[in-house]
Structures are given as C-alpha cells and as structure tokens.
Structure 1
Amino acid sequence: MSDDIKVSGFKSSELIAGLQAGFAKTSDSERQSLIKKTNGIFELQVSKDGQVATWTIDAKKTGTVYKGKATPKADVTIILADDVLVDLASGKLNGQKAFMTGKLKTRGNIMLATKLDNVLKTAKAKL
C-alpha cells in the first residue's frame, strides 16, 4: 500500500509512506486518542522543482494518510517545499519559525496547523 502513496522525486514521499505505516501500526484506542486530541484534516501541498504533490492526513475521522486532495474538505491546507517538510519532520526546523519566515503557508484553521507536529511525532514513534 505504501508504494502507491509515493511520488517519485520527492524526499518527503518516504516520510509520508512512513507516516502511513505508523498510523497502520497504531491500535484502535491510540488512533481514537489521536483523533480526539487533534480533530482535524491536514492537506499537505508539497512542491519541488515546479511539481506539486498532495497528501492528506485525516486525524479527524479515520486516522489515515493518503495521496491526493482531502475528502471531505481539509480543515487546514499546509503549503511548503519538499525540503521544508523533511526538515520539519526530522526536527531540524520549527513549524512556527518556518511559518514566520514564509517557508510554510497555511489556508484554513491556522491553530490546527500547530497540531501537525504532534501527529508526526505520534506516527514516528510507531516506526
């Protein structure tokens, strides 16, 4: 399943596939806890060399990660470069700093965007 989530040429593809695997390994109770804490759908629009890959993290209804636009509509859309997403996930870059310096843009519920870090950490802990 993780191969169909990858987009060739994007470093963040491995990260997203890992996130998907991490979500798959969480127990139902852990997933429900994450959904209760987060209650949001994140759409990631990641750009690299003029291309844009879109992934969705559903931490509101299903606790899943998939390639493509959010259905239902995302609560927050996060627009960033491939390298920026990799740096955020690895902890090299702080989300607030990325936002303040224009490396990360949002549409929708900006306060929900601050919860993405917790979602990434939860899934990474499962790997």
Structure 2
Amino acid sequence: MSDIKVEGFKSSEILAALASVFEGYSEAEKKSQIKKTNGIFELRVKNAEGKEGVWTIDLKTTGSVYKGEPKSKANVTILLSDETFTQLAEGKLDGQKAFMTGKLKTKGNMMFATKLDGVLKVAKTKAKL
C-alpha cells in the first residue's frame, strides 16, 4: 500500500498505517467497522507547500484506504491542513475544536464527519501511531 504515501505529506504516513490496519482485519472485524461507520470520507489535505493530496477512507463498501477521489459518492469531504490531520490522528486536537476554529472544513454530512475521530482512534491503538 505504499502508493498511499506521498512525499511532503505527514498525513499520508498515518493513512498508510490506517490502510495496513484495515488490511490486517479479519472479515468479521472489517464488517463490524463498516457496519459501525457506514460511510465514505474524502480527505483533501494541504501540505506546507500548498499542494493538495486526496485520500479516501471507504467504510461503506470495501473497508479500505486509498489515494485519490472516492469511487462512489463520499458522505463527507473534509478539507484540512497536513498539520491539522496529524494532530487529529495523534489525539492532540479534537475534531470539533478544529472545526470551530476553522482548521477543518466539511462539505456534505457534517455529523458523519464526527465519526472520523473514532476511526482514527481505532487505527491508533492497532497501529501504535
């Protein structure tokens, strides 16, 4: 899954770790995550140089993470900086606080965006990020 990693994006390392966690899931664990989350996150991350990277966390059909736009319509598109995503994944920043302070913007189902926190927490404990 090294195609997930992109030079200059710390968040791509985190997403690659998340992808390997999902790959390590048994079918039952994957089904459970899909059932619990039931949606697709499109992440649009800007790095320090102002370049944008796009990743998709599909917890509706495949239970996977991949680079690029979602294959089917995303429930929510989340726009944030590389630094903000890294802080969210490390648990140093709360998603709601990031949203309220303008560090994170959403398009689509904003309430669904709150589920990203839980997805990142699961990955963090499994991947030891």
- TM-score tier by shorter-chain length is over 0.9
How much is the aligned-residue C-alpha RMSD, in angstroms?
0.8
For residues 38-77 of structure 1, what are the structure 2 equivalents within 5 Å? 38-48=37-47, 49-77=49-77
Q: Which residue in 2 is equivalent to 1:116? A: 116
Shift of 1:123: 2.2
TM-score scaled by length of structure 1 = 0.96
Alpha-carbon distance in 1 for matches of 2:45, 2:17: 16
Structure 2 unmatched ranges of 5 or more: none
For residues 91-106 of structure 1, what are the structure 2 equivalents within 5 Å? 91-106=91-106
In the alignment, is the contact (CA less than 8 A) between 1:55 and 1:66 conserved in 2? Answer: yes
Q: Which residue in 2 is equivalent to 1:27? A: 26
Q: Which residue in 2 is equivalent to 1:79? A: 79
Alignment coverage as a number of residue pairs: 126
Alpha-carbon distance in 2 for matches of 1:24, 1:30: 10
Instruction: Tell me: higher relative CO, structure 1 or 2? Use CA pairs within 8 A at least 6 residues apart.
Output: 1
Aligned with 2:9: secondary structure?
coil
Alpha-carbon distance in 1 for matches of 2:89, 2:120: 7
Determine what percentage of the aligned residue pairs are the same residue. 62
Alpha-carbon distance in 2 for matches of 1:125, 1:63: 17
Q: Which residue in 2 is equivalent to 1:37? A: 36
Structure 1 unmatched ranges of 5 or more: none
Aligned with 1:50: secondary structure?
coil
Alpha-carbon distance in 1 for matches of 2:106, 2:100: 11
In the alignment, is the contact (CA less than 8 A) between 2:55 and 2:66 conserved in 1? Answer: yes
In the alignment, is the contact (CA less than 8 A) between 1:44 and 1:54 conserved in 2? Answer: yes
